[in-house]
Amino acid sequence: MVVPAVVAGCRALDTDAVTPVPQLLSFLPWLTLPAGLALLLAAAARRRALTFVSVLVLGGTAWASVPYMPQTVISYGLPLARVKVIAANVEFGEGTGSLVDAVRRERPQLVFVSECDRACRSTLTGTFADELPHYASLEGEGSVGSIVLSSYPLRDWREIPATMGMPGATAEIAGVPVRVQLAHPMPPVPGQVALWKRELGRVKTAVAAAPSGPMLVAGDFNASQDHAAFRAILAAGGLQDAARRANESRLPTWPAEGPVPPFVQIDHVLVRDFSVREVRVLGLAGSDHRAVVADLDLRGPR
């Protein structure tokens, strides 16, 4: 009962605290199970005080698990363009072949790829030289490399300084400049939570400093809607998680390999000045992440 109480309390206080809280926040909805079990045991033992506390803990955990939706006022103008986005982590390039198949099948206009090593970059830029001829990338081996592929011209290339590549650029879509940014901070494993917070903070700073207008921020955030550092990015940029806008309360993307099914969404497509038609996930052979596919409409000013 202590673990659900502490984690739900940190969620309510809007803090990621320190290890092991950031790691346990990924399990937040599932912590209602031990909280419920504690209530049943306390009730069976007829211990009134403990039962009362257990009710509070279960209620608090359930409340904290409600899907997060920023209270942002959304005012859309006319639709200007249909845009399909894929955000994928190909796990050291191992899922590149499966991503190629997905891109051929889905025909997106923008593809954000994390952990795209040099071989992955060469494969994607060569295979889609006609369909997605424009790209912004940071080269590297293993998890360092990243790339944004685009059917639209890209300019104003910039990167967010980080351990792993986070390239960004401005795309010209239907005559409108749209800021596109890949996010891939370090994961919050014990010993590097401060680095994780710092790199998510850099994403927050970048979106806050971006000019007003449409924006897409996508990738493997290594953070869920239950992490305060992730919610701070939404607030700073006036962004919405496309999955929440599509009424997908929780869309697990990790881990996609192994005996445990995906239980947390750490891969996201965040939008500003876009309406959302549909969001879904795709399995990628060779990757421990599911890819996120978002069908969007770019909206003009109202």
Structure confidence by residue, pLDDT tens digits, 246-271: 988 789 999 999 899 999 999 999 99
Are 292 and 218 a contacting pair, CB within 8 Å?
A: yes
What's the pLDDT band for 156 if we cut at 50, 70, 90? Answer: very high
Structure confidence by residue, pLDDT tens digits, 187-197: 999 999 999 99
Least confident stretch, 9-13, 16-20, 36-40, 150-154: 36-40
pTM of the model: 0.93
User: How many CB atoms sit inside 10 A of residue 199's CB?
Assistant: 24
What pLDDT score was predicted for residue 161? 97
Q: Mean pLDDT over all residues of the chain?
A: 91
Q: What does the alpha-carbon distance between residue 284 and residue 291 come to, in Å, rounded to a whole number?
A: 7
Q: Quick check: 164 pLDDT over 90?
A: yes
C-alpha distances in angstroms, 207 versus 68, 134, 184?
19, 22, 14
Q: Average pLDDT in the 66-78 region?
A: 67
C-alpha distances in angstroms, 17 versus 42, 50, 189, 231, 283?
29, 26, 13, 14, 32
What's the pLDDT band for 66 if we cut at 50, 70, 90? Answer: confident
Q: What does the alpha-carbon distance between residue 208 and residue 69 come to, in Å, rounded to a whole number?
A: 19
What pLDDT score was predicted for residue 128? 99
Q: Quick check: 75 pLDDT over 60?
A: no
Q: Which position has the higher pLDDT, 49 or 53?
A: 49
Are 138 and 144 a contacting pair, CB within 8 Å?
A: yes
- Domain at 79-299, CATH class: alpha beta
What's the pLDDT band for 240 if we cut at 50, 70, 90? Answer: very high
- Each domain of the chain, given as residue ranges in start order, spans 2-64, 79-299
Q: Quick check: 55 pLDDT over 90?
A: no
C-alpha distances in angstroms, 288 versus 10, 94, 116?
28, 10, 14
What pLDDT score was predicted for residue 163? 98
Structure confidence by residue, pLDDT tens digits, 189-232: 999 999 999 999 999 999 999 999 999 999 999 999 999 999 99
Contact partners, residue 198, CB within 8 Å, separation at least 6: none
Q: Choose among 241, 255, 264, 246: nearest CA to 283.
A: 255
